[in-house]
Structure 1
Amino acid sequence: MDKTESLLTLPAPAPTGPTPTAATADAGPPARGRPDPAWVRPALAALLLATALLYLWGLGASGWANSFYSAAAQAGSQSWKAFFYGSSDAANSITVDKTPASLWLMALSVRVFGLNSWAILVPQALLGVASVGVLFATVRRWHGPAAGLIAGAVLAVTPVATLMFRFNNPDALLVLLLIGAAYATVRAVETASTRWIVLAGALVGFGFLTKMLQAFLVIPVFAGVYLLAAPTGFWRRVRQVLAAGLGVVLAAGWWVAIVELVPASARPYVGGSQGNSILELTLGYNGLGRITGAEEGSVGGRGPASGQTGLGRLFDTENGGQISWLLPAALILLVAGLLLAGRAARTDRRRAGLLLWGGWLLVTGVVFSFMSGIFHAYYSVALAPAVGALVGIGVTLLWQRRAPGAPRWQALAATVTLAAALAVTA
């Protein structure tokens, strides 16, 4: 059984120079240009402060939250061996059924502040504030500060995010690492930078050390956007993407290699596996088994932790109120943005940004909708950064091109109306 199946039952300035042509107008703002308007920094500070208050206020209401991971954090604070392996107990008899990166943060916090609910949960809240800040920086770079602020605000108040950034499951760290990888991809695309694209791969690899194969869902999207939009030759782009793949392997594989090479008698049993193997756990119970439903010892694909598969899963009674209020709006704005981009140049940043966040949303959303293994509603927090980014980009793009009676204005009005209706009924 997944140890978290009952989680959601808890209480819970004007342009200068030549007039731009139609082609250059859709190329998006430059990565480096005029400084932000004076209001941006205060607005960002207010957003981050409000997010911190939202996530930190009354943090102890959840008690020990997921006691399965709280016990592992306690063990890691008492034993460095338990810390490294992510053991459930300081005696190192068995590990949790996940890779241990998120536990490392909690265990370090307990070592500093002592064993209490606040010490376990405050790292998650701070990860949430950092996620909002990095999402702002990523979206702002290509689409402007207004889009970045909207994106960050949407992420901050998405219901499932307000839950998971106050809880001690691995998802909070995973979300921050994936947003960081998106930022590194954006920086890489700007100058065809090998260093940045390898960093993106390394961050995804560290995401594997947080929640295994779920981190890899964004790999084809980030690689595809880089191959499409980076301003360099095709074969150099291919080589750089392969180097990023090596970054993924190294960042994710060092810990796995150690666990597999250490004799079983000298380490704890790998929890969740049938044969005391981290590779088996990665490919089985926490890997392909989540897609196919072939998870030995799990509740199966139709159990109470999973719901019905299909496109409607993310809109059902369990998931609808957590993530779905802005999903249709994000998809409408994605399509509208791509239509506005039209036949832009290969390296067009606005289109690249839409493809990056739209690809993240579609790939992850489809997998979550059709996976036959264990699925929990809180997994959908991985969709929240993409939803926020698409809403921020799409709203500002349509607003900049508004005109009374124009289709773009009507599309924006319809999007707002639909989002409001879903928010009320979800």
Structure 2
Amino acid sequence: MAAITYPRAMAFRVSAVWATRLSCAALLAVTFVLYMWGLDRNGWANAYYAAAVQAGTKSWTAFFFGSLDASNFITVDKSPAFLWVMEISARLFGFNYWSVLVPQALEGVATVAIVFVAVRRWFGPAAGIVAGAVVALTPVAALMFRFNNPDALLVLLLTAAMYATLRAAESGSTRWLMLAAALIGTGFLAKMLQAFVIVPVVILVYLLAGRPALAQRIKQLLIAGLTLVVASGWWVAVVELWPAASRPYIGGSQDNSLLNLVFGYNGFGRITGDEAGSVGGLGAIGSRWGITGWNRLFLSEFGGQVSWLIPAALLLLAAGLWFSWRGRRTDLARASYLMWGGGLLVTGAVFSFAQGIIHPYYAVAIAPSIGALVGSGSLELWKRRRDVRARLLLAGAVAVTAAWAYVLLDRSPDWYPGLKVAILVLGLVAGAMIAAGPLPGRALATAFAATALFAVLAGPAAYTLETVATAHSGAIPSAGPSLVGTAIGPGGTGGALRGRGGFGQPAAGALAPPQGGGGSFLQASRPGAALTAMLQASSGSFRWVAATVDANSAAGYELATGDPVMAIGGFNGSDPAPTLAQFQDYVSRGQIHYFIAGGMRGSGSGSASAIATWVSQNFTASSVDGVTVYDLTSPLR
């Protein structure tokens, strides 16, 4: 019987499939280790959200509404989907640092995986590896995928939505388009209107590149729009229809309305700067929260967080569209460039010109787009390197990235000073060799490709490793080393409000300084043993063991005691909740044991200041662990 033989091509395809799988596995394994390594050094990270997670493990009502305390006085100032992930983890594995932070790390790994899959599908596995590596090594990504803010889940959902849109364009499937809409809607439940920033891009890409006829595409988009409304609106409808007297106050709103929070403080107010209840910022310089303009993402606050490869991404976007522009309408390579390029440009523009609260870590939202553009564009040009135009464009991308890395690293001149020189030299040499012409021999070409890759990734990789090795806490974390001439440093951006977490100077008259210790506007309180023990004593007899002004102060006491603490005025201390009359009623009914002085008194309605004044005039103060405490069960006689 003759021996059975197999075609060589089949063997090649099998080996190529396994090579792709192994390279993807290696990428995700490295990302997993990077995001998990020493994760507990961040402690509770953002104590404000950690306290809400703790509350959600003790009360299903707190879980659903996103309450800061298990007695459901006030919610956090975001929609709660990102908390639900952590709360499920904490209910399964116990409430601790790891159960709170591991979900963010896994969301980061999943985001890298989706970018790899999306780019590999239309540009090949090598492009997918480069794209995924760029995302994984973006400093702000390493920061936020190890932190318990809403951004980790938001970025995962929006990245998946962009991929689903491309799959819908490829197949003409209404289901893929509905999935994209559902993912964006769920993103709304994680961080409200920021999720909708990519909606115009999704619509444009599908209208231009979807396979069905135009009328069918419009019909599909209308169905997707309905899906978006349902996915994002169901929770809003429940909260708005729920009797206000039997649910917690909506933190961040000025009238206990979720719609006020959605469209005001967390919505258009971020664009216009008209944010009722907001405090802090830089006064008249640009906006209250930073200098605005086309170059905002390249300045000190944002530059080292995310901008390393933005110039290359824009150049490669232009190159990709140039080489694919004459393709058929449904060309998926061009659709991919439009999808990721649109995400980068639209989101970047919103962050650059917004007059309201925009923090540097928000820039993690554009990391997947940067990675996808760099991965797809660089490999596309590498394959076309016999074309002098492709060579010059690729060489320019490498050179400009190396030069920009030199500028960013020079902002921390004492931090590994030789690194910026090495990157610049290697980048310029690699760029020159690429521009010179097709290199003779596969080995030499591979060597210079590897050199170019090192030059473009070494800077952000170094920042990322510094970020992973540094503990981060507070409300406004920051990636990378300290910058000369700024208050930005390891652990968070600086300023008078920072405490390793805040940034900027307070607007005149907006904030009063902490009184009596025990916490600040952007940093949680850290009570001593005696104060913690005092709060825990007889805690079962009270609905709230204590009340204090602003949520970060309350969060620290909650995490230390495990008991509910009333956050007067919500996150900023400026929400009109409770009123003085409501607080007096709580006290008269014996529902609050102590009032802890400190925190920040927001300008808001004056409720926080009125309550603090009333307490100081009617109850005796004592000092415990350096913190001023009033026993609300013992009025002055």
TM over 0.5: yes
* Structure 1 equivalent of residue 390 of structure 2: 408
**Residues of 2 paired with 1:107 and 1:423: CA distance?**
39
Asked if the contact 1:87–1:95 (Cα under 8 Å) also holds between the matched residues in 2, the reply is yes
Query: Of residues 226, 231, 238 in structure 2, which corresponds to 1:258?
Result: 238
The alignment status of 1:395 with 2:378, answered yes or no, reads yes
Cα distance, 1:167 vs structure 2: 0.3
* Structure 1 equivalent of residue 32 of structure 2: 52
Cα distance, 1:305 vs structure 2: 7.2
* Structure 1 equivalent of residue 590 of structure 2: none
Cα distance, 1:149 vs structure 2: 1.2
Asked if the contact 1:136–1:149 (Cα under 8 Å) also holds between the matched residues in 2, the reply is yes
Give per-residue Cα distances to partners, 1:109-133, cap 9 Å, x unaligned. Answer: 1112212111110100010001111
* Structure 2 equivalent of residue 424 of structure 1: 406
Query: Of residues 312, 320, 343 in structure 2, which corresponds to 1:360?
Result: 343
* Structure 1 equivalent of residue 142 of structure 2: 162
* Structure 2 equivalent of residue 83 of structure 1: 63
* Structure 2 equivalent of residue 199 of structure 1: 179
Query: Of residues 111, 117, 141 in structure 1, which corresponds to 2:91?
Result: 111
The alignment status of 1:349 with 2:332, answered yes or no, reads yes
Structure of higher CA gyration radius: 2
- Which contiguous aligned blocks of 4+ residues in structure 1 show a shift greater than 2 angstroms? 34-38, 299-306
* Structure 1 equivalent of residue 422 of structure 2: none
Which letter does structure 2 place at the counterpart of 1:421?
A
Q: Give the SS at the match of 1:276.
A: coil
Asked if the contact 1:328–1:419 (Cα under 8 Å) also holds between the matched residues in 2, the reply is yes
Q: Quick check: 83-92 or 37-46, which moved more?
A: 37-46
Asked if the contact 1:305–1:375 (Cα under 8 Å) also holds between the matched residues in 2, the reply is no
Q: Quick check: 305-314 or 178-187, which moved more?
A: 305-314
Matching of residues 334-345 of structure 1 within 5 Å: 334-345=317-328
Asked if the contact 1:301–1:372 (Cα under 8 Å) also holds between the matched residues in 2, the reply is no
Asked if the contact 1:305–1:376 (Cα under 8 Å) also holds between the matched residues in 2, the reply is no
**Residues of 2 paired with 1:327 and 1:305: CA distance?**
25
Q: Give the SS at the match of 2:68.
A: coil
Asked if the contact 2:27–2:133 (Cα under 8 Å) also holds between the matched residues in 1, the reply is yes
Cα distance, 1:190 vs structure 2: 1.1
Give per-residue Cα distances to partners, 1:43-65, cap 9 Å, x unaligned. Answer: 11110000000000000111110
Cα distance, 1:191 vs structure 2: 1.6
Cα distance, 1:398 vs structure 2: 0.2
Query: Of residues 363, 366, 373 in structure 2, which corresponds to 1:383?
Result: 366
TM-score by length of 2: 0.61
Cα distance, 1:252 vs structure 2: 0.5
* Consecutive unaligned residues in structure 1, runs of 5 or more: 1-15, 17-33
**Residues of 1 paired with 2:238 and 2:266: CA distance?**
19
Cα distance, 1:407 vs structure 2: 2.0
Query: Of residues 291, 297, 302 in structure 2, which corresponds to 1:308?
Result: 291
CA RMSD of aligned residues (A): 1.4
* Structure 2 equivalent of residue 277 of structure 1: 257
Cα distance, 1:141 vs structure 2: 1.5
Q: Give the SS at the match of 2:74.
A: coil
* Structure 2 equivalent of residue 125 of structure 1: 105
Q: Give the SS at the match of 1:154.
A: helix
Asked if the contact 1:155–1:384 (Cα under 8 Å) also holds between the matched residues in 2, the reply is yes
Give per-residue Cα distances to partners, 1:172-224, cap 9 Å, x unaligned. Answer: 00010011111211111112111110110010000000000000011010111
* Structure 2 equivalent of residue 6 of structure 1: none
Cα distance, 1:341 vs structure 2: 1.0
Cα distance, 1:145 vs structure 2: 1.4
Q: Give the SS at the match of 2:277.
A: coil
* Structure 2 equivalent of residue 69 of structure 1: 49
Asked if the contact 1:140–1:146 (Cα under 8 Å) also holds between the matched residues in 2, the reply is yes
Cα distance, 1:347 vs structure 2: 0.8
**Residues of 2 paired with 1:40 and 1:78: CA distance?**
45
**Residues of 2 paired with 1:402 and 1:333: CA distance?**
14
Q: Give the SS at the match of 1:189.
A: helix
The alignment status of 1:231 with 2:214, answered yes or no, reads no
Which letter does structure 2 place at the counterpart of 1:310?
G
Q: Give the SS at the match of 1:271.
A: coil
**Residues of 2 paired with 1:141 and 1:306: CA distance?**
40
Cα distance, 1:266 vs structure 2: 1.0
Query: Of residues 154, 166, 169 in structure 2, which corresponds to 1:189?
Result: 169
Cα distance, 1:302 vs structure 2: 4.0
Give per-residue Cα distances to partners, 1:92-122, cap 9 Å, x unaligned. Answer: 1100000000100111111122121111101
> How many pairs align?
393
**Residues of 1 paired with 2:103 and 2:17: CA distance?**
32
**Residues of 2 paired with 1:65 and 1:301: CA distance?**
22
Cα distance, 1:150 vs structure 2: 1.0
Q: Quick check: 79-88 or 103-112, which moved more?
A: 103-112
Q: Give the SS at the match of 2:79.
A: coil
Q: Give the SS at the match of 1:318.
A: helix
| Percent of pairs with identical residues | 60
* Consecutive unaligned residues in structure 2, runs of 5 or more: 1-8, 409-637
Cα distance, 1:263 vs structure 2: 0.4
Asked if the contact 2:170–2:211 (Cα under 8 Å) also holds between the matched residues in 1, the reply is yes
Cα distance, 1:342 vs structure 2: 2.7
**Residues of 1 paired with 2:201 and 2:303: CA distance?**
25
**Residues of 1 paired with 2:281 and 2:333: CA distance?**
39
**Residues of 2 paired with 1:181 and 1:384: CA distance?**
15
* Structure 2 equivalent of residue 214 of structure 1: 194
* Structure 2 equivalent of residue 28 of structure 1: none
Query: Of residues 319, 327, 332 in structure 1, which corresponds to 2:302?
Result: 319
Q: Quick check: 263-272 or 297-306, which moved more?
A: 297-306
Matching of residues 134-145 of structure 1 within 5 Å: 134-145=114-125
TM-score by length of 1: 0.90
Q: Quick check: 224-233 or 293-302, which moved more?
A: 293-302
The alignment status of 1:243 with 2:184, answered yes or no, reads no
**Residues of 2 paired with 1:300 and 1:140: CA distance?**
44
Q: Give the SS at the match of 2:70.
A: coil
Asked if the contact 2:28–2:113 (Cα under 8 Å) also holds between the matched residues in 1, the reply is yes
CA change 1:336–1:301 in 2 (3 A) is farther
Give per-residue Cα distances to partners, 1:37-86, cap 9 Å, x unaligned. Answer: 43111111110000000000000111110000000000001111100000
Q: Quick check: 416-425 or 116-125, which moved more?
A: 416-425
